[in-house]
């Protein structure tokens, strides 16, 4: 099975890090190489431009893909199934126009021109809003087109809005929210290996912000400790192997933000030998 991933740019490193944490690190990879094996002999990584990944999956060159939701929508890839929001690479596709210009709302673009690298998404947005405007497709420096007289407004990607501000452009409307997604072709979305990869990546996401808390607790304080641990379900309670009289071992998964307060509270009722560790993967 082949997974298409971004070959460079801001999405490449986070994607490769996520695969490694999920137990699918690449092996024998080299610069300028199109394919790389993973530790799973049934899984191969295909490196491609982020914008091309939906087409690679749709056409069968890959079975699964990892790229931005904006790229999937721009490719009009309606034969793909979204499996996971991988929760990085967040950005927005926005409609923007010159500050203090005539374009103050989307309806002001009736009969106007919009420059963008995302003509498919822009066309869909205009249809949804009932606006008749021309679309000029560009391949870069979109934010300069209104000042060059090429367009009345733009539809472009922004993360912080800084580039728009520098170029004296104001956001008129939000067109699309995007983040990096895992997707597959409809015909393989339920295959066993696809589900295994999905579960592996989901386990990394589920472990984010979680900590594993272990402690020894006096038996007569067990119910009190259980009541103050804000874990996932009830904690696990076990006998202590060395036979410490009157104590049991308590293990629980808690949110990182709750660790400080939880430790304080359980210590007050006699918990000892408290250990907090990070969690690499969590399969629910």
Quick one: 202 and 149 in the same domain?
no
The answer to whether residue 283 sits within a structural domain is: no
Domain boundary among 178, 193, 227: 178
Alpha-carbon span 258 to 245, nearest angstrom: 29
Quick one: 97 and 174 in the same domain?
yes
The answer to whether residue 284 sits within a structural domain is: no
Domain boundary among 190, 206, 222: 206
Quick one: 50 and 60 in the same domain?
yes
Assess contact for 242 and 280: CB atoms under 8 A.
Answer: no
The CATH code of the domain that includes 229 is: 3.30.70.120
Quick one: 139 and 184 in the same domain?
no
Q: What is the predicted pLDDT for the residue at 169?
A: 94
Average pLDDT for consecutive 10-residue bins of the chain (284 residues)? 94 95 84 83 94 95 96 90 95 94 94 96 96 94 92 92 90 96 95 96 94 93 87 80 78 92 91 93 86
Query: CA dihedral in degrees (53, 57, 61, 62; nearest 10)?
Result: 90
The answer to whether residue 106 sits within a structural domain is: yes
Q: What is the predicted pLDDT for the residue at 32?
A: 57
Tens-digit pLDDT profile for residues 42-51: 999 999 999 9
Domain boundary among 178, 194, 225: 178
Quick one: 199 and 218 in the same domain?
no
Tens-digit pLDDT profile for residues 76-124: 888 899 999 999 999 999 999 999 889 999 999 999 999 999 999 999 9
The CATH code of the domain that includes 124 is: 3.40.190.10
Alpha-carbon span 137 to 227, nearest angstrom: 60
Within 8 A by CB and 6+ apart from 133, the residues are 109, 110, 111, 112, 113, 114, 126, 152
Domain housing 223: 209-278
Quick one: 110 and 123 in the same domain?
yes
Q: How many domains would you assign to the chain?
A: 3
Quick one: 98 and 169 in the same domain?
yes
Quick one: 7 and 108 in the same domain?
no
The answer to whether residue 232 sits within a structural domain is: yes
Quick one: 201 and 169 in the same domain?
no
Quick one: 59 and 194 in the same domain?
yes
The strand ranges marked E within 118-192 are 134-137, 153-158, 169-178, 180-185
Q: How many CB atoms lie within 10 A of CB 151?
A: 24
The answer to whether residue 65 sits within a structural domain is: yes
Quick one: 85 and 98 in the same domain?
no
Quick one: 44 and 109 in the same domain?
no
């Amino acid at each position: 099975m082949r997974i298409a991933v971004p070959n460079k740019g801001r999405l490449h490193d986070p994607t490769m890090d996520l695969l490694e944490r999920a137990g699918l690190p690449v092996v024998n990879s080299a610069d300028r190489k199109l394919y790389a094996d993973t530790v799973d002999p049934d899984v191969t990584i295909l490196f491609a431009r982020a914008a091309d990944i939906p087409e690679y999956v749709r056409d069968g060159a890959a079975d699964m893909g990892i790229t931005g939701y904006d790229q999937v929508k721009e490719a009009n890839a309606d034969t793909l199934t979204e499996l996971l929001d991988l929760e990085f690479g967040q950005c927005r596709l926005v409609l923007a126009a010159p500050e203090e210009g005539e374009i103050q709302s989307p309806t002001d673009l009736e009969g106007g021109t919009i420059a963008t690298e995302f003509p498919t998404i822009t066309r869909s947005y205009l249809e949804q809003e009932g606006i008749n405007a021309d679309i000029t497709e560009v391949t870069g420096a979109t934010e300069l087109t209104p000042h060059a007289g090429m367009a009345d407004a733009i539809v472009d990607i922004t993360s912080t809005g800084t580039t728009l501000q520098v170029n004296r452009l104001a956001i008129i409307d939000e067109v699309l929210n995007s983040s990096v997604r895992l997707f597959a072709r409809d015909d393989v979305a339920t295959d066993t290996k696809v589900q295994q990869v999905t579960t592996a990546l989901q386990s990394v996401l589920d472990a984010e912000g979680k900590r594993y808390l272990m402690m020894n607790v006096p038996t007569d304080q067990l119910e009190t400790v259980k009541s103050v641990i804000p874990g996932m379900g009830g904690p696990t309670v076990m006998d202590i192997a060395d036979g410490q009289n009157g104590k049991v071992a308590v293990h629980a998964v808690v949110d990182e933000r709750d660790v400080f307060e939880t430790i304080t509270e359980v210590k007050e009722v006699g918990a000892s030998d408290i250990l907090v560790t990070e969690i690499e993967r969590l399969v629910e």
